[in-house]
Structure formats: structure tokens, C-alpha cells
Amino acid sequence: MIKPAPASAAATLTEFRAALRRDRLLFFPVRHHSPACAWHLQEFIRREKPASILIEGPETFDAFIPHLVSSETTPPVAVYAHLVEKVKADAPPADKNTPRRASTKPRRHGSFYPLCDYSPEWIALREGHAIGAKLSFFDLDHPRMVKASQSKEQEDSPRPISLFDESYFHQNDYLQALARQRGCRDFHELWDRLFESAFRAGDTENFIEQVASYCWFARTHTPDSQLEKDGTLVREFHMWNRLQKEQRRLKRRGETRPLLVVTGGFHTPALALGWPRQWNVNMPDFDRRKAEVLEAIVPYSFEQLDALHGYAAGMPSPGYYQRVWQSTEPDTERTHQAVAAKFLTELPRQLRANQTACQLSTADSIAALTQATLLARVRSNPGPMREDLLDAMQSCFVKGELDVEGRLIFDLALELMRGDGVGRVPPDAALHPLVSDFRTQAETLGLALQSSIERELDLEIYRKPRHQAQSLFLHRLDFLEVPFGEFTSGPDLVSGTDLDLQREHWCCRWSPQTEAALIDRSLEGTSIKEACLYRLHRRLAKLSEDRSDLGAPDAALALTLAISLGLFEHLDQFMSAARDRLQTESNFERGVSATTQLHNLQRFRSPTTGDHHSEIKGLANEAYQRACLLMQDIATAPAEKHREVLDALTQLQEIVANDEAGTIDASLFWDTVKTLADGGRAPAMIQGGLIGLLSTRAGHDPDAILDRIYEALLGFDQQGSTAPALLLGLFTVCRELSWQTPELMQRLDTLFNAWGEEEFNQALPHLRLAFAQHTPRETDRVAELLQKLHGSESSIDWYQRDHDESFLQENTALAGRVAAALERDGLSHFLPQ
């Protein structure tokens, strides 16, 4: 049994509220990063003057309390904890389906304990320090916390999680229903309306009771099985024991001042009502020798604090709440009014400074502030709060489409409300998790760090898992531009070269610059993998910028990088970015380039692609379909792009030809080619290419192809005959036609003979290009064919013999003078090498 069955929820709620304040024991339930909680807690500590404060957080963090209360520390800062479990190589796999490799890989768990100015935990530390209270963290230590939670144990996550997990509130049925009933969009808005409205207002006792009741309902509507699974019960059991101990200690000392317990409100019911007393909990054991533990205090940023920015913890828009916290207004109404006014004037100003297409005036700011204030009044908020502010911006600032102009404004608004501050830690507390991650991995992989002698590595990436891991490590460092390994040869998915090679060659050399570069990258993440992810995310962000001229190939490249850097847990985002870009790609050549990239990914799968292969296949197929759709427009391509269009057509044909597995619908390509060729609207060069393509299709009718060519050869435009351009296109795609079909040569012969001198000279450049693509052997074959056509029996004499020595000398001298003249004019690059 986990908790006593309540006779009625209301009765126990009354009991619970009474238990919050007992004989010299005070509970303060909080929401992490809540200015209202922080403000009331500050008042509470100043008034109650507790002898000792217990704060939710791993107990080993006590070591950082001197740093945290130091005047040299400026929030936001975080305590970073990480654990690398060394799993024994001979450990049996969990089940037969798990590959052996996974069980031998060290598992890595990183967590942040972030604190900002308005974190109640921060206030507890600072205010507690000021009144001389004993301060301690009293939660399980980080390694045992990880052990206790089954759900977090499964994966090796490159992105550290926050220790302030709020998923219980987000996913809570009761709170969701409450939010719906109050007309709130989500849990954040509900919280703001109910509690942030009491910032610098109201009675603290009453506030505590309200928060406690709110959390009580969240807690009693969470299934026990979930609490057991994620380790909450074990943690609460530990916290409760520590609480008992501290109470006894204070009693022994005859302390008259109270003990204050500051935890997330979700845990308060269990601690205040003593539920853990009846629990039977297995405390996880942890062997320090089998793991590597690192804990450090690091600077943190508002960007990382923002719940809307991919870090699933804490409040959205931390910069906004920072302003609320720092405001000097005396009450909540004026505070929110002032902060709203500030943002609503700053946003138009920033838009003007950025010189965006969308410009707003002071009148717009005034209208938006009125709108926000009225919205707040209709919603019974004390002043315009965060959601009122955002709604007012939408009503008064966005005059066009929501996803165009609206996005421009909202991106900027959310950025302003996010804030850009970075915290500071005392110099003696700094440590670089990234460097430590590098050292651990290099050591595990047997890449020597002791010397700076260059070492060559020959890696069989498709056969040996260890080599694979080394390759991945080196690729990641390379991507981060950390000087350590140099890729000398091997299959390269990114550039699409040497894809059939089986081995990679690297030259590795450690230098002090290696670690210096890592320290430079330390803001990008706490592990090498995370830093790679951060960089790739930046690329994705660039892709989604409005003005970016990046297209589908860039998105496909980002996906390729994500795969070759082994960021499989996050592949979905890269997939969807690639899909989005494909959807909006309007250029045929770029569409084909992305298709080629994706098909390479699909064909030459990286040894670790594994489960994602079918998704990649689907995406590659989608790209192919898109390319076929875009192909319909090639007839309108400008003249200078014809060459690129032809190359793209050939590439697409290769994809179709190489698709032995039949994963794509080849008929889509061939039907489009045929429709375009039949339409006859394409420029001659592209038309030639299309006919050339048709002649490579299996089972085509050679006579029909010849008919098409003959018909097309008769074409004319303003410049004269289009036959030369047609031939250029034709032979670019399919040179074989020139020597395999004597009829074609005969027809060309007749055509050229019919031309006058001027016509022929005009056609010559194109004809040269058309035939220059032939290899010497192919040229010979064409020549032999023509010779036969003209009925000459003797073999061709390829050499000119009627020149004497003086002729050669004169010409050599002339060539020398030309070379000198070109060199004088700085045009020496005109000369053939």
C-alpha cells in the first residue's frame, strides 16, 4: 500500500493543509522557477526565521552551497551532475533481441539543477544564508536517483535532463480538465492565472494553502504505478528519512526555531502526511567503482531555461519572469502593467531596428497595451500577464497571415521574452564537462592522449564495432572542428564520394589545441554528442529562417550529418525538417540533389542506421516523387541552367536505374519524361536530353526514338537551327547513340551537308561540345562509321605529315609569344596546362 485510502478527498485535504504547519515543522510547497512562490517564500523565511532549511535536490550538492551563496555567483547557474555507468562486457543482454553491442556500451546520464533569480530554491539558499540557517539538500544523490528511475534508465541521452521534472503537472488529467474549465490553453496559463497573479500580493499563509491544494489534486490524480516506476517513491522515502533525522537533531539541540522544508509541491503531501512511513521501498545500491561520477557548478543561460526552447523543464519565457521579478513596482497589478508596457514598446522598436518588412508604431503599442489590459480584465487577471500579452500582440500587431508575418513577430516576441542573459560562477568552481567527456571517451576507445605523435588508424567500419565507435568519435570531433583526427580516405556520405569503400583512414594527433578547442565549445554542450546536436540544431534553425535561401539539399545534408554523427534519438526532427524543405522546394536541380543525398543514405546505410532505415527509405521515396513533380517545370528553365537541368536528369535516371530493390515507382519518372518529350515544349537542349533518356529505357523502340530525333532535328528558333543544341543534349545523356546507330549518323551527315558555310560555323561551338564528351575511343568509332558511310575503304591516317621543321619552329615561337603576352596581361590561366 502506497498511501492511506482517504475516506473522502476533501477530508484528507483538510488534514493535509493542517499538516503544513506543525509544531516547529513548516512545509513550503513550490513550483520551480515561479516568481510568486519565490516572493512568498522570501517573505516567509524573513518572518519565520527557521533554524534549518531542507531543500529538494541531490544531497551531494551540499558541497556547492558555499559557491551558490557566494557573492561572486550570478544566476542563472546550474549544478551539473553526470554519471557514466560502466556496464560489464560479459553482462548478458536483457533479452535476446537486444544486440550485444548495446549492453557493453557505457550508459551516460547528465542532469542539470538550474537556478535563476526567482527560483524558490535559490531564494531558500540566499535568504537562509542571510539569517544564518543551516542549509542542506536532502534528496537522493544523483547516481541513485538515476538507478531508481526505470524510465530514464533505458536510454543514453545526449541532452541532459533537468532535475525539475514537471511532467506530472503537464500530463495530469485533473489539471488538464481544470485548465479547460477555466478557459486556459495549457498548464502554464492555468498556473499563471491562479498563482502568478499573487506575486507581491496577498497573504502568504493563504498562498501556501492554495499551492498545496493545487499540488494535492495533481498528486492524488497520478497513478502510483507511475510514481513507483520513475523513482519518485524512493526519493520521497529518502527525503522523509532525512527529514526525521534533522528533526531529531534539532530536538537534541533544544532548538526553538522551526525547520523549513522546501520541495516541489508534488512531494509535499507525502512528506507532510508521513506516507513513506508505511512504504516498503528497495533503496537502489550503487557501486562507485563501476561508474564515473562528475558534479560541477556551471554557468547557465536563459535560453536553456526556456521551456519553449526544447528544454522540457521550468517556465516558458524566463526573460519575461525575470522582468517581473526585477520590477520595482509595489504591487502585482502595476508590476504586470509595467512589464507588459515594456515588452509592447520594445518589440516594435526591435522590429524597426531589424528593418523588417513589418513595421509597427507607437499607436500599435498603445492599442496592444489596451487590448492586453482589457483581456486581463475579462479573464480576471490582476494585470496583463504573459498569455494576455501574447494574445494582444497577435490581435494588434499581426496584420497579415499568421504563419508569415505572424511568425516574424512571434519569433521575435518569444526571443525577447526568453532573454539572453548568461550566469557567472566563481572562478575556482569552473570545470569543463566537455573536456572530461572527451578524455573518458578517448581513453575507452584506446586513442592515446599521452603523446602528440601522429598515429594512423585503419578502421573497418562495417565489421568491427570498436572501429565503428572510434570512427563515430572522430567524425564528431571533426564536425565540431576540434583538431584531433584527420579523415584521409573512406566512404563519405556527406559529399557522396567513395561510397563503396569498406574502410576509413584517419590520422590522429593530440595537441593542447584539442582541449583548448573543446573548452571553446563548452557552451555548446556538456558532452561531445550534445555539442554536435547543438550545432546541427543551429543549422536547422537557419533552415527555418524566412530569408534563408537554403533548400532541400541543405536539409538533406543536415539529416545525413545527423546520421553520420550517430544522433539517432533526434533523427525525427531532422527528418521532419528535410520533409518540410522538400515540400517547399521549387527548384528541380535542388530537388534532385536532395533526392540523390537521401538515396545514398538509403543505399549505403551507415553501420548504425538500424531501425531508421525504413523511415529514410520513405523520405527518399518522397524526395523522388517531389523531384518528378518538379521535373514537369524544366521546360521553362532559363538557358544558362540547361546544362544543370541535364545533369540533374541524368542523376535522377541513375537513381531509377540503381533501384534494384524496386522501392521507388520507376514509371513515375519515365511517364514524366515521356509526357515532356511528347509535349515538345522543352528547349532543344533539354528535349535532346529527354529523348536521350528515353533511348536508355529498357524495352524502348529504337525506330520510334530515331523518329523523334529526326523530327526534333528540324526545329528552328530565332538563332537558326536548334539541331546543334538538341545533339548536345542528346549526347550529354546518351553518347552511345552516336556510334550504335549508323542511320542517325547518316541523317546528321545529310543535314550538315545541306547547311551553308555560315550556318555551319554558327553551329560549330555546340557541335564541338556535343562530340567533345566522347572518349578518344568513342570518337574513333564515330569516325570509322562516317568513313564507312562515305565509302572509303582505307583506314584513316590520323597524322599530318606535310609540315617541315621550320613550320614547327615558327609556330612554337608564335605560341611562346602568345603565352608571354597573356602572362603580361595577367591572363596566363587562359592557357591549357
Partner 1 sequence: MVKPPPPSSQKPPAEVQFAAELCALLASDALPKPAGWLLSPTAVKTFILGSGGKPLPGGKNGPDDATIISQKYFGNDVLVERAIVSLLGNRSLLLVGEPGTAKSMLSELLAAAISGDSTLTVQGTAGTTEDQIKYSWNYALLLAEGPGLRSLVPGPVYQGLRDGKIVRFEEITRCQPEIQDALVSILSDKHLIVPEFKDEHRVLQARPGFNIIGSANLRDRGVNEMSSALKRRFNFETVPPIADKDLEMELVRRQTEQLLLDAGVEMKYPPDTLDLLITTFQDLRQGRTEEGASVEKPSTVMSTAEAVAVSYSACLDAHYFGNGKVGGTQVSRQLIGTVFKDDPEDAKKLRHYLNVVAKARSRRGGPWKEFYESRHLLGS
Residues that bind partner 1 (CB under 8 A): 183, 185, 361, 363-364, 367, 370-371, 374-375, 378-379, 391, 394-396, 398-402, 406, 579-580, 582-583, 618, 622, 625-626, 628-629, 632, 665, 668, 671, 675, 678
Could you tell me which residues come within 8 angstroms of residue 712 by beta carbon, excluding any fewer than 6 positions away? Answer: 680, 684, 687, 688, 691, 722, 723, 726
| Cα–Cα distance for residue pair 408/402, rounded to 1 Å | 9
Long-range CB contacts (within 8 A, 24+) of 191-197: 191/31, 191/34, 192/381, 192/385, 192/386, 192/387, 193/379, 193/380, 193/381, 193/385, 195/31, 195/34, 195/36, 195/37, 196/34, 196/35, 196/36, 196/324, 196/385, 197/36, 197/332, 197/381, 197/382, 197/385
Closer by beta carbon to partner 1, 322 or else 593:
593
- Report, in Å, the least distance between residue 665 CB and partner 1: 8
Closer by beta carbon to partner 1, 63 or else 404:
404
- Report, in Å, the least distance between residue 398 CB and partner 1: 6
Closer by beta carbon to partner 1, 378 or else 796:
378
Closer by beta carbon to partner 1, 361 or else 773:
361
Long-range CB contacts (within 8 A, 24+) of 376-384: 376/336, 379/183, 379/193, 380/193, 381/192, 381/193, 381/197, 381/336, 382/197, 382/201, 382/332, 382/333, 382/336, 383/332, 383/333, 383/334, 383/335, 383/336, 383/337, 383/340, 384/336, 384/337, 384/340
Query: 423-435 as b/e, with b when 16 or more CB fall inside 10 Å?
Result: bebbeebeebbbb
Closer by beta carbon to partner 1, 402 or else 820:
402
- Report, in Å, the least distance between residue 585 CB and partner 1: 10
Closer by beta carbon to partner 1, 548 or else 632:
632
- Report, in Å, the least distance between residue 703 CB and partner 1: 23
Closer by beta carbon to partner 1, 259 or else 664:
664
- Report, in Å, the least distance between residue 239 CB and partner 1: 39
- Report, in Å, the least distance between residue 616 CB and partner 1: 13
Count CB neighbours of 175 within 10 A.
Answer: 22
CB 187 within 8 A of CB 169: yes
Closer by beta carbon to partner 1, 104 or else 625:
625
- Report, in Å, the least distance between residue 634 CB and partner 1: 13
Count CB neighbours of 651 within 10 A.
Answer: 17
Closer by beta carbon to partner 1, 225 or else 355:
355
Kindly tell me the burial class for residue 360, based on how many C-beta atoms sit within 10 Å of its own C-beta (0-12, 13-18, 19 or more).
Answer: buried
**3-state secondary structure labels for all residues of 148-189:** HCHHHHCCCCCCCEECCCCHHHHCCHHHHHHHHHCCCCCHHH
CB 614 within 8 A of CB 571: no
- Report, in Å, the least distance between residue 220 CB and partner 1: 24
Please name every residue paired with 108 in a beta bridge, in sequence order, or none if there are none: 84
| Cα–Cα distance for residue pair 602/621, rounded to 1 Å | 10
- Report, in Å, the least distance between residue 583 CB and partner 1: 4
- Report, in Å, the least distance between residue 110 CB and partner 1: 32
- Report, in Å, the least distance between residue 551 CB and partner 1: 14
Closer by beta carbon to partner 1, 665 or else 780:
665
Closer by beta carbon to partner 1, 362 or else 488:
362
